[in-house]
Amino acid sequence: MFQQNKMLNEREEALNDFKEQLEKLKDNNKNQIQLITLIADDHSQYAEDIVKIVINHIKEAPSELKLYGVYAMDSIIKFPTGTFKEKYCRLFGNEIVELFVDTFKKVFMIGLYFFSIAQSLQLLIIGSIAPRILFIDS
């Protein structure tokens, strides 16, 4: 029982730390994005939860901050190595089209930045689903 509580506390602490650092991201701060990426890599055993936190953060962020959340997501997808990289690609890949479409609708003026990220992600995400964003009729 004690061991189970300790593991739960470690998980909660790791996810809270990740979320706090993500919420501090208010501009294109490379050091902050790198810290967020390193935390995601260090705690990749919680990848499903980390992906949910990032997705929710981007969806709930004010329009002027959404792009920075996408930058953090992009960094997380590109950074980890081995099976964790594939895991993050798969987990984000399941959500990325819907997320990009939703964000495009809300932040049309920065759509070109999203396009460049989508192009770089198409090589990493299984099935290359990112380019479909361009052909979605809203």
Q: What is the phi-psi region of residue 62: left when phi exceeds 0, alpha when psi lies from -120 to 50, beta otherwise?
A: beta
CA-CA distances (angstroms) from residue 108 to 97, 103, 126? 15, 8, 26
- Residue 50: give its domain's CATH number: 1.25.40.90
What residue numbers bound the domain in which 54 lies?
2-135
HSE-CB for 76 with a 13 A CA cutoff: 33
Write out pLDDT tens, residues 5-22. 566 689 999 999 999 999
Q: Is 122 helix (H, G, I), strand (E, B) or coil?
A: coil
Write out pLDDT tens, residues 59-118. 999 988 988 999 999 999 988 666 677 889 889 988 888 888 887 777 766 666 777 777
If one counts the domains in the chain, the total is 1
**Predicted confidence band of residue 136 (pLDDT cuts 50, 70, 90):** very low
